[in-house]
Amino acid sequence: MKDIIDPAGKPFRHQKLVAWGSAAATIASGASGNLSFNVSEEGIGGRIVLPEGDYVLTDIKHGSRSLISGVVPSDLFAQHSLCNPRMFRVIEKADGLFYVTAKNTSAAAMTISAGITSPPLPGEHDDYDGDASRPGTREVLAAGCDAEADLAAGASNQFTIDINEVMDAAYLVVGSATNLDTLVVTELKVGNREFIDSGSEVPASLFAADNPDNPLLAVSLSPTDDVVITVKNNHAANQVDSVACCITTG
């Protein structure tokens, strides 16, 4: 078996792992909890994978680094997501701190756990920038919205996404506790630039994490950029719970 070389030039000989798993956490309704990883075998992390459910993410911590900001729909990291960004981060036993923070937005307690896939193929991380101490690692996975929202029938909500650092935006992802069937996106604006035709209603399912036709944004964002997304529930009677959105890194 060929050695896999991490971005810092350290070989992981005959990598034994296909995944890392977190300890399961039982989270009460409306509360937040950490899904913590106890790393005993080193390697390169690929993607974080989470079960589907009525919850959102408020942090992914690796050492002292938060890999997301704001509120991120858990759909982004679900098993069928096509927009799930790879971390390309070197996971070491000395890290000591790796966890995912989930907020339970359902009416009942839930028990969930998280997984991290094994390293990508050699060379797949070469084109990605990273922090100074670990070249090749990805610093940001997604920038999330200000808060999740329950949308009553006919109601709209304007989400804002704060960009804390420079990032190359890839996809807008909209998620909810149930489905996106009755939701439409009426505004997607970065600064003064409109990304949705004025006056139109774009089905939110276009921006679902598992949609192969989710359009690539391909725009560079910086902390001076104001990102605004407006989502409307077009259903005549039913409320859609726990709607949230984020922009993934490129």
The CATH number of the domain holding residue 230 is: 2.60.120
Q: 């890290």: which residue's tokens? A: 95
pLDDT of 83 above 90: yes
Task: Look at residue 137 in the predicted model and tell me its pLDDT.
Answer: 60
In this structure, are 88 and 171 located in the same domain?
no
pLDDT of 63 above 60: yes
In this structure, are 152 and 118 located in the same domain?
no
In this structure, are 14 and 119 located in the same domain?
yes
Task: Look at residue 138 in the predicted model and tell me its pLDDT.
Answer: 72
In this structure, are 154 and 122 located in the same domain?
no
In the listed set 140, 168, 191, which residue is the last one of a domain according to the structure? 140
In this structure, are 78 and 178 located in the same domain?
no
In the listed set 86, 115, 140, which residue is the last one of a domain according to the structure? 140
In this structure, are 112 and 209 located in the same domain?
no
User: Which range marks the domain in which residue 194 is found?
Assistant: 144-249
Give the tens place of pLDDT for each residue, 128-172: 444 444 445 678 999 999 999 999 999 999 999 999 988 899 999
Domain count, the chain: 2
Task: Look at residue 90 in the predicted model and tell me its pLDDT.
Answer: 79
pLDDT of 189 above 70: yes
Buried b (16+ CB within 10 A) or exposed e, 212-236: eebeebebebeeebebebebbbbbe
In the listed set 105, 122, 140, which residue is the last one of a domain according to the structure? 140
How many angstroms separate the CA atoms of 27 and 33, rounded? Answer: 6
- Tell me what the mean pLDDT of segment 118-123 comes to: 58
Q: Specify which residues 225 forms β-bridges with.
A: none
In this structure, are 117 and 165 located in the same domain?
no
Closest Cα partner for 177 from 29, 16, 22, 68?
Answer: 29
Cα distance between the two ends of the chain: 31
